[in-house]
């Protein structure tokens, strides 16, 4: 994914990286929440693997 996401530049993640700690930007969590919301509002379910390639395009915007 693109390194330009705002959540990748927050002070907490910068501090963790400065100490050599692993970080995670939360995009998977956001994707899972989107899948659940889509199913809730449309009564149509997608699996993570089905929707991930499509949603990754939106994360780059």
Domain residues for the domain of 26 are 6-60
pLDDT of residue 2: 43
Six-digit token string for 39: 């199913």
In this model, does residue 33 exceed pLDDT 90? no
What is residue 30's predicted lDDT score, i.e. its pLDDT? Answer: 82
pLDDT of residue 41: 92
Please check the confidence at residue 1 and state whether its pLDDT lies above 50.
no
Note whether residue 22 is domain-resident: yes
The burial class, CB within 10 Å (0-12 / 13-18 / 19+), for 48 is exposed
Residues 5/25, Cβ–Cβ less than 8 Å: yes
- Measured in residues, the chain has a length of 61
- Judge whether 16 lies within some domain: yes
Question: Is residue 1 one of the residues assigned to a domain?
Answer: no
pLDDT of residue 28: 80
Q: What angle do CA 25, 29, 58 make, to 5 degrees?
A: 75
> What confidence score (pLDDT) does residue 61 get?
52
- The tally of domains found in the chain comes to 1
The Cβ-side half-sphere exposure at 40, using a 13 Å CA radius, reads 6
Tell me, yes or no, whether 18 lies in a domain: yes
């Amino acid at each position: 994914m693109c390194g330009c996401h705002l959540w990748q530049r927050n002070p907490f993640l910068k501090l963790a990286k400065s100490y050599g700690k692993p970080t995670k930007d939360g995009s998977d969590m956001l994707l899972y929440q989107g899948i659940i919301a889509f199913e809730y509002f449309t009564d149509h379910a997608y699996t993570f693997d089905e929707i991930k390639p499509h949603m990754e395009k939106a994360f780059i915007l």
